[in-house]
Structure 1
Amino acid sequence: MATVLEICSYLEKLAPTNLAESWDNVGLLLGRRNRPVERLMTCLTLTAPVSAEAVERQAQMIVAHHPILFRATKKITDATEEGRILLQLAEAGIAVYSPHTAFDSADRGINQQLAENLGLQQIQALRLIGDAPNSGAGRFGVLEKPLDRQEFLEKVAMTVQSRSLEVCWHKNQIVKQVAVACGAAAEFLDDAIRAGCDTFLTGEARFHSVLEAQSRGINLILTGHFASERPGIEQLAKEIAQQFPEIDCFPANNDRDPLTLFMA
């Protein structure tokens, strides 16, 4: 039976921690390294419902994309939501690993998957990180066949399994070269423009970033933070299961987008 440490070693090969942003907190955040793992759950964010699900489904390990221990923490008590989650998991003996921005940028990570699923070809990193082959922040590539606005937006919605998209579009512009960066990644707008992209897709962006995209003539698509990353976390469960066939790996059912649509 594989241990927490063996799974961590695999995850560090899949998404090397040196690819993570300097501000990030990746790796094993909670748990005993020698604990055997029979059941493993993946999720985007470790919320109270997700934590309860892990306990109920008797998981020994959670791979949570977003690190629960992100800012400096001096106390872990039941006075906070984060503290209650960590105490519940520690009491149940459940380990927690977060790959976050390392997995975003890995050569088989979320951005690479997103680019491939959109049908992009000649895929490259938007921003190189060191000398890591085939890795880097964001991705860009070209469509095999140029698409109009309607065709491409339908493709995006199907790819990220979303019923709604926020769009800032330039009239009659055809989509040929596309940049993607999951999560909240408007900081890569300049990189997308320098790469010659006509369209940039990310999860969320500030209002003034949208205005900048509009003024600089690049289409901007906001899928929602959750939608841009959740498919990659579902795929991660499959990847771990393939590497460790003796482990029951599954994505969390209670890992849901906190935002819903109200149609007036």
Structure 2
Amino acid sequence: MKHKVATGQNIIQWFEQLSPKHLAMDKDPIGLHVGTLNKKVHKVMITLDVLENVVDEAIEKEVDLIIAHHPLLFRPLTQVNPDTEKGRIVQKLIKHDITVYAAHTNLDVAEGGVNDALCEALGVQPEEILVQTKEEKLYKLAVYVPVSHADELREALGNAGAGHIGDYSHCTFHTTGTGCFKPQEGTNPYIGMQGELEQVEEVKLETIVPKQLLSSVLKTMEQAHPYEEVAYDIYPLENKGAKKGLGRIGRLKQPMTLRDFAQHVKMSYDVPALRVVGDLDKKVERIAVLGGDGNKYIHHAKRAGADVLITGDLYFHVAHDAMGIGLNVIDPGHHVEKVMKQVVHDYLQQACNENNVKTEVIVSEANTEPFQFL
């Protein structure tokens, strides 16, 4: 079987199934930063940050597309000046036709994204989100289809993401009845003749669809349906959709002291040092994890019943506040979000394999940790 090379659009379309853009926080500068996605991509590199050493690595390895967690252009540039580091980075990217795409808080929020990977590294099974940021808007789709094609359409809708309720997929309900229609001049009916009233035994197939999938599900419905004109209804629902958000909360298999757990975090995240707030001899079991800067969320962790919050960039006075509310905190640094590199690599490599493309996905080896520990 002949393999093809994916385009940038292909790669990002697959990637956004893991990390949809609608999950991002407001004003988070995600998406395309430099270059174009309308080109063939022979090699993709995954990185936490887009620093100059990362760009030099991409040039050396002939990378076409960089996918990063931290946005390169977090604030708008007023100029591209090669006398500055940011200017040199942008100049090198354009000169070597390297595209940069960022997935920031959407990858934090996503199931299987940064925070789930941080939990997995610790052996903590996530039970709930720490900070809710989104709730899916749901719609009911009712479509009328001949009995002969009902099973085929049901399968297509389920494969497109409709009918997911909790851990169940392809959830539908159907009733049978008689559909009536008269094909007019210029039509090419699948069933019936022009100018003659036709009656067909049909199934009314009902299913539930999240808002973000509605457009693609309708497209799938039209492609799988035998009729030239599809009869269907869409109803907004008051049902509560899946909750999405930052951070995760779970439990250890066995309680341990804060001291021992801090050592476990240190080894699991492969960091040379970390900071701890709290009584080192106190037992901890319920764990909150939030990658990046989690200073704003110590009270969320406390209200959720967490014994300890793992997060980065802890401020001095926030540490005092955590002590005051009796919350233990472990700060292993911001750079532990590097776990996303292998997660995204594995996901995209599998997508390339499943779509029979020979685009190569690699992980950046450049060090972007700014701190040294002496």
**How does the TM-score come out when normalised to structure 2?**
0.67
Shift in Å, 1:8: 1.4
Query: Higher mean Cα deviation, 126-135 or 206-215?
Result: 126-135
Considering only CA atoms, is the larger Rg found in Structure 1 or Structure 2?
Answer: 2
Alignment match, 1:233: 341
Give 1:104's aligned residue: 108
1:188 to 286, 291, 297: 297
Q: What is the Cα deviation at residue 134 of structure 1? A: 6.0
* 8 Å contact from structure 1 (residues 40, 250) kept in 2: yes
Residues 116 and 126, structure 2, Cα contact 8 Å, conserved in 1: no
The residue number in structure 1 matching 2:183 is none
2:361 matched to which residue of 1?
A: 249
Q: Deviations over 1:66-125 (max 9, x none)?
A: 111111223223132111101101111111010011101111110011122222235211
Following superposition, the deviation at residue 22 of structure 1 comes to 1.4
- Pair 85,194 (structure 1): closer, same or farther in 2 beyond 3 Å: same
Name the residue aligned to 2:261.
152
- Structure 2 gaps of 5+ residues are 137-241
Alignment-mate amino acid for residue 133 of structure 2: I
Question: Alignment partner of 2:372: what SS?
Answer: coil
The 5-angstrom pairing of residues 43-122 of structure 1 reads 43-122=47-126
Instruction: Indicate yes or no: 2:333 matched with 1:224.
Output: yes
CA contact under 8 A between 1:8 and 1:27: conserved in structure 2?
no
Structure 1: unaligned runs, 5 residues or longer: none
Distance 1:134 1:198, change over 3 A: same
Q: Is the 8 A contact 1:8 1:28 kept in 2?
A: no
Structure 2 CA distance for aligned equivalents of residues 190 and 98 of structure 1: 29
Spell out, residue by residue over 1:132-163, the C-alpha distance to the aligned partner (whole angstroms, 9 max, x if none): 43631111111121112233122211221112
Say whether the 8 Å CA contact 1:201–1:223 is kept in structure 2: yes
Task: Provide the secondary structure at the position in 2 that maps to 1:77.
Answer: coil
Taking structure 1 as the reference length, the TM-score comes to 0.94
2:16 partner amino acid: E
| Partner SS, residue 74 of structure 2 | coil
Superposed displacement of residue 19, structure 1: 1.6
Tell me the SS of whatever aligns to 2:273.
Answer: coil
Q: Distance in 1 between matches of 2:244 and 2:253?
A: 22
* Correspondence for 1:6 among 7, 10, 18: 10
How big is the shift at 1:171? Answer: 4.8
Rounded to whole Å, the distance in 2 between the matches of 1:207 and 1:161 is: 24
